[in-house]
Amino acid sequence: MTAIDRLFTALSLGGMTVRNRIAMAPMTREFAPGGVPGDDVVEYYRRRAAGGCGLIITEGMAVNAAGAHDGPIPLLWQSEAQAALGRIASAVKAQGSCIVAQLWHVGMQDSPTTVNPGTVKQRPPRVGPSGLYGNGEPGGEVMSEDDIANTIADFARAAAAAESAGCDGIEIHGAHGYLADQFMWDRTNRRADTWGGETAQRSRFLAEIIRACRAATSPGFAVIARISQWKSVDYTARLAETKGEWAAMLEPLCAAGLDALHVSTRRFWEPGFADGDRSLAGVTRDITGLPVIAVGSVTLERDFKEGTSEAGGGITESAARSAHVEQVAEAIEAEEFDMIAVGRAMIANPDWADLVRGGRADELRPFTRDLLAKLD
Ligand SMILES: Cc1cc2nc3c(=O)[nH]c(=O)nc-3n(C[C@H](O)[C@H](O)[C@H](O)COP(=O)(O)O)c2cc1C
């Protein structure tokens, strides 16, 4: 078996059997007027499943009004959005792919002044663990015990809705500086109660969401959490400086009944910590023993591997893409991670998986920002 063949072996994840190791990364597209994805969105996901992607992770879907990003994103607490998710799930599954819905609460991430046009007319104020934005400035409301309990219940209701819609699981967005990550980050969590404090205490909020989602859904329904060191407001931010701190943060999440972790990094090949070569995904897999999804710039960058883009090396972009695919496949073979999520490159290439399987990675179309303006 070649390394590339390894990319096309099945993976058990919770109760799912995913046909290969390729996931579509969750990507907000803002094509859900009134909070409801239409037929164009159904078709967009169906094309990626038809193109061979094993696991579709949907764009972030808001679990309640306070947590909704300002823009036409799916508002999953509403029945119309749940019905639309049902149409997406059936279209994807008819192509032989699995699907998990990403559950999202932005917390204090966004500007306090904007509203979600046409969806949440009078949006509730932004809330967070300590009412602080990612830059450390105050501006929102500090979540009370009731707010916390209600938000956890909203995640659980959204998980149950995703199961009723026919999804195989959910991914809780605990990354990039959104609400669950705001609890985990010491810059935005200054609480002195049991929701704040040391690293393990700060991951309690995400752990309780995991526990509640698990309880609200059937055995075998996959519960995945996405986590990251980096934040959209600060690419250099870190939740943990050492593997020991990272392990302390992960422990409550695993104990709550997770099936897999999706470790979000900006470049999948970079070492996670100063003391070792293992990526953050690899370190996470070593610590937890759980299946891990890696992500970050797959088939996007030219200088991905030391030496390949040296002056005079003459490597073409298309050859670089092929070499990148090899690198991913080798990492899976070496048990660095179990699955790779592909984001922007899958916007540019709905058939990313089929092209790679056919040994045609050098034909992958480059991603350009203008592709975000439409839903191809
Ligand atoms: C347009 C766009 C929207 C995104 N929306 C989300 C999102 O809703 N949830 C999430 O967890 N990550 C989101 N991301 C991050 C991607 O899931 C992914 O981690 C990132 O694009 C890096 O992967 P890539 O280099 O393969 O694109 C988004 C990225 C892009 C480009």
Write out the DSSP string of 149-164.
HHHHHHHHHHHHHHHH
Decide if pLDDT at 299 tops 70: yes
Q: Which residue has the higher pLDDT, 314 or 157?
A: 157
User: 298 CB less than 6 Å from ligand 1?
Assistant: yes
The whole-angstrom separation of Cα 308 and Cα 152 is 47
Cα of 28 to ligand 1 centre, how many Å?
Answer: 7
Cα of 59 to ligand 1 centre, how many Å?
Answer: 8
Decide if pLDDT at 301 tops 90: no
- Report the pLDDT value the prediction gives residue 287, as an integer from 0 to 100: 98
- Known catalytic residue: 178? yes
pLDDT band with cut points at 50, 70 and 90 for residue 323 = confident
Which positions ≥6 away from 257 have C-beta within 8 Å?
210, 211, 214, 223
User: 224 CB less than 6 Å from ligand 1?
Assistant: no
Handedness of CA 98, 178, 182, 338 (dihedral sign): positive
Write the CA distances from 151 to 209, 223, 227, 285, 339, integer angstroms: 9, 17, 18, 29, 30
Q: What percent of the chain has pLDDT over 90?
A: 84
Atom from ligand 1 closest to the CA of residue 73: 8
Scored b (16 or more CB within 10 A) or e, 311-348 reads eeeeeeeeebbbbbbebbbebbbeebbbbbbbbbbbbb
Cα of 90 to ligand 1 centre, how many Å?
Answer: 23
- Residue nearest (by alpha carbon) to ligand 1 atom 7: 27
Query: What domains lie within the chain, and their CATH numbers?
Result: 3-373 (3.20.20.70)
Catalytic residue among 44, 45, 178, 235: 178
Q: Identify the weakest region by mean pLDDT among 137-141, 250-254, 319-323.
A: 319-323
User: 344 CB less than 6 Å from ligand 1?
Assistant: yes
Cα of 27 to ligand 1 centre, how many Å?
Answer: 5
Give me the residue label for tokens 């370190």. Answer: 283
Q: Which residue has the higher pLDDT, 230 or 307?
A: 230
pLDDT band with cut points at 50, 70 and 90 for residue 307 = very low
Atom from ligand 1 closest to the CA of residue 264: 19
- Residue nearest (by alpha carbon) to ligand 1 atom 25: 297
Decide if pLDDT at 116 tops 80: no
- Report the pLDDT value the prediction gives residue 302, as an integer from 0 to 100: 54
The whole-angstrom separation of Cα 213 and Cα 157 is 8
Beta-bridged to residue 170, according to DSSP, are 101, 223
Cα of 18 to ligand 1 centre, how many Å?
Answer: 21
pLDDT band with cut points at 50, 70 and 90 for residue 125 = confident
- Residue nearest (by alpha carbon) to ligand 1 atom 5: 27
Decide if pLDDT at 304 tops 50: no
User: 264 CB less than 6 Å from ligand 1?
Assistant: yes
